[in-house]
A and B are shown apart, each in its own frame.
Chain A
Amino acid sequence: MTIRNALRDHGQRYRPRMACLKKAEKVLLEMQDPCTGVKSQPQRLVITIIPHAITGEDIIAWLADRFQIDTEEARSFGSMLVALGYIYPLQDHKRLVIKPDASLYRFQTPYFWPTQQWPVEDTDYAIYLAKRNIRKKGILELHEQEQYNHLHKWMNHKWDFIVMQAKEQYRAAKERKKPDRVVFDCQERAYWVVHRPPPGTVSAMDYGLHRRTDPNADETQTPDYYERIMIFTQQSIMRPRVKSSVSIGALVKYCATYSGHDPFLSKCLPSNPWLTDDTTFWTLNMHNVEIPTKMRVERWTFSFKELLSDPRGRDDFRLFLKKEFSGENLAFWEGCEDLKWGTAVTMREKAEQIYKTFLARGAPRWINIDGKTMEITVKGLKHPHRYVLDAAQTHIYMLMKKDSYGRYLKSPVFKETLKKAICPEEHKFNEVQLEQNARNRRPSLSPIIIRQQEQEQRAKMAANAPVDITQLCRFTTPVPHLAVYSGIPDPPSVTASPLFPFLAHTPVCPSPISVALDSTSASERQLETSEGEGNMEARAPDGGNLSKSRMALSLRRLLKRGCSPSAMFASLSPKCHTAAATSSRIQPIMPDEPSHGPPRRIGNFFQIKVDIPPECRIYPIESEDEDEENRPASRDRVGTEEIICPWESLSRQNGTG
């Protein structure tokens, strides 16, 4: 048995939601057949007798018999017919349900049937309300009064017509005999209960967006129709295939995991607000609740996506990351989300902010992504768009998922949360309490207010942004007067010299080697820097690019020693990308920037990532020293001091200078 893809659905999702109407009509015509339909009886009123009334229990019995279904299902089917407006109750006319007792119903006349091609007009409703006004001397229900005032305002230009028509219809109806008049009034009233339901009731007529084409109509076979079929089948062929065992297995797994959490399928603690009108469930599961429920916490263990998409879970995770000093990952991820989903106006600014905070060299909350991604991101940031940080975001997401998430689930933070999580008692409401709940329904907070609250909270969090321990180094404070990223077009110097890109060899991200070597004591570093400086002064008379010259110097030294850089690197680090090919492609945002060099952080030792950025390499191009020396002298004291050449320290350690 195959799953048929109905030919109409050329990816356009017709959603024939009102196809049931035609079927209901057929059933209704069967039902009212005098021979084989539902037994009808006369309704006895004080003044007259009106025929063709049917009882609820008869309807249910007939439906159960006709379709060979059990009583419960027949009852819900009958209620559907009432809710759609094909049968209307004579007593309690506002509740559109079938009661399985002797309460009376009647068939609705076809003029008032809810079929698709006759839209329900507001003009008609206005006329109806005016008629009701005339009859009941102005006593209308509250929602009717509101509607009346609303329509009076919006249809003011045809209001004279409406009133005149109402009067005329009223008088025309009086011409009929009394029983028929009663029937017609009931019919009309029932029609408007279905199509303009009082507030707080669920209407069966809700069907989402209004489609322009009738899903039940046959489509004409125009060339366009065939074209759409062709496009659809082409796309179907191109789609990648998955074995059904795999896809079905995934579905089964999903169902098994989530079935306990689905309020449709299993009990919802304390009670389902849609059923009992009690909103405890929602208040217990709000975004910023202190103590989450057990079900919620269990959900976080299903997947990383669940954890992140639940605001409370994200808070918990953030707390954990703070303790692990890797909060910048989550903050970066959230910043990227903000960029993706934010308004276009703020995009540029946000991208700039994110770069300054997370990606730039020397950024306060620097994230560690691999060089290729960094390269793509930085290049894209010149012309920022909504998805410019996608690659970096994915990398960080995967990082958190593979690494931090697992640790989080085993962490004391999570265990604590799990222990404190509450499991609410189930509500047991009786009928009276249910009615009371229904009466006390109140609308929730306006979404505008909720959005304002969220924004305030975000601002507060940004103001008290946690200072990651990784940035507790004076070297990593961002330097304001250096334009880290200004988003201005490429400075001409970049294009001027093709060798300039090489300047980026001061790595955009700290080389792990240098990081590793940071574990050497600060005193040694100081020693190095002072020595380096001393050397510098000796060798670089123009006092220009000290850091560069130092590196180049050590380069020369290394080369003199005949030690191949790659070999050295290989000995130092697990993975080593070979070099120079990628180097030339690296373009700094501001070429005179790199004097910042790789920021030194003590804490980073614990965060050595696997990939070595391709920039952290020795570029054995001696000719470039001249370039460096010619570089503009926007030097920075801080920058000079912190450049520590891994090779330099190594060479020192190795003894020979």
Chain B
Amino acid sequence: MSRWRHSVDELTAGRQRYQKECERAQNALSRVTSCFQQLVASLGSSADSSYLREEIDQTRALAHRICSGLSHRLLRLLSACDSAPIAVEDRQASERLWVLFLSVVENFLCDLQKAKDLIGQFPLTQSSNRCSLVNTGCTDGLVGVAARVALVQIPWLVLEEEPSPNLTDHIAGLESLLSELQQRVPVAFWSVEATQPAWAEVLSDPDDPDDSLEDIMEVEVVSNSRSRNNVSACCQRKCCRLSCVG
């Protein structure tokens, strides 16, 4: 009996380790997709360049690796749920992770489709194409974002380097992955609840004086314009937290 219990404990511990690994992967995937969004937002603008396109491809490849690994692991995790005796909280945690993974993949898919359309609309094959890029005021090469992507670590060893697909195949692959996952594992996504209450993220990130960004915008408005309404005049003080900053 004790041997059985011992093995169950081992299994549970193993499971929890597994779960932690998946969570870290999920965070990594989140990071990669948000960087991807920053990169894609510059497509077609004056900050667009071949360097940007390469970065986008690399980010995409990384995301692809994480996605496929994570999908396999989550699949294993959730199918193991059915066979072995699992505590309710564990199962709930796995389901939550599952739902979050699917959400990330959906979000990423949207960005991929936009990227595909934009790349199609603004090809950079010839130098004359650069004229058609929209002058949006961005000039940066997004080096910082690319660096951030490079720092992302996949929490498992990738033994074989499978070739990353091109954009169209990637999109098709993700779509089929989504539908397949939704069919194979019957998780009721509405039963998953948020761990934190609403407005909780407000208390996070106390480390930046970032509301000054909009103050900056408004301050310039006051000095720049001739007959501005005096609503923004009060924004000159940084401690002003009124919503007139918009």
- The chain A residues found within 8 Å of chain B, CB to CB, are 28-29, 32-35, 40, 43-47, 50-53, 90-91, 93-94, 102-104, 106-112, 115, 117-118, 121, 123-124, 130, 133-141, 148-149, 152, 156-177, 179-187, 189
Measured CA separation A141–B245 after assembly (Å):
10
Contact: B204 with A165, CB < 8 Å? no
Interface secondary structure of A, over-half rule: helix
Task: Name B217's contact: one of A90, A130, A172 (CB within 8 Å).
Answer: A90
Measured CA separation A123–B106 after assembly (Å):
10
- Beyond contacts A121-B110, A157-B191, A180-B138: 7 other A-B pairs, Cβ-Cβ < 8 A, are A51-B137, A148-B198, A161-B103, A162-B103, A165-B104, A176-B38, A184-B38
Given A134-B201, A175-B148: A91 and B225 interface contact (C-beta under 8 Å): yes
Measured CA separation A286–B86 after assembly (Å):
67
Interface check B221, CB cutoff 8 A:
yes
Residues of B within 8 A of A94 (CB): 246
Interface check B94, CB cutoff 8 A:
no
- The chain B residues found within 8 Å of chain A, CB to CB, are 26-27, 30-31, 33-35, 37-38, 40-47, 96, 99-100, 103-104, 106-107, 110, 113-114, 117-118, 121-122, 131-132, 134-140, 142, 144-145, 147-148, 189-196, 198-202, 204-205, 208, 210-211, 213-214, 216-217, 219-221, 224-226, 228, 241-243, 245-246
Contact: A167 with B144, CB < 8 Å? no
Residues of B within 8 A of A29 (CB): 132, 134
Interface secondary structure of B, over-half rule: helix
Contact: A172 with B139, CB < 8 Å? no
Task: Name A118's contact: one of B30, B113, B200, B211 (CB within 8 Å).
Answer: B113
Given A152-B198, A161-B104: A52 and B137 interface contact (C-beta under 8 Å): yes
Contact: B38 with A169, CB < 8 Å? yes
Task: Name A184's contact: one of B41, B117, B121, B189 (CB within 8 Å).
Answer: B41
Measured CA separation A34–B133 after assembly (Å):
10
Contact: A172 with B202, CB < 8 Å? no
Q: Which 9 A-B pairs have the closest CB atoms?
A: A110-B44, A175-B144, A159-B194, A168-B34, A138-B202, A52-B135, A169-B34, A158-B103, A161-B103
Contact: B145 with A182, CB < 8 Å? no
Residues of A within 8 A of B191 (CB): 157
Contact: A111 with B118, CB < 8 Å? yes
Contact: A111 with B43, CB < 8 Å? yes
Smallest CB-CB separation from B32: which chain A residue?
A168
Residues of A within 8 A of B41 (CB): 109, 111-112, 184, 187
Measured CA separation A556–B226 after assembly (Å):
106
Contact: B34 with A130, CB < 8 Å? no
Residues of A within 8 A of B213 (CB): 135, 181-182, 185
Given A118-B113, A137-B211: A182 and B216 interface contact (C-beta under 8 Å): yes
Contact: B132 with A52, CB < 8 Å? no
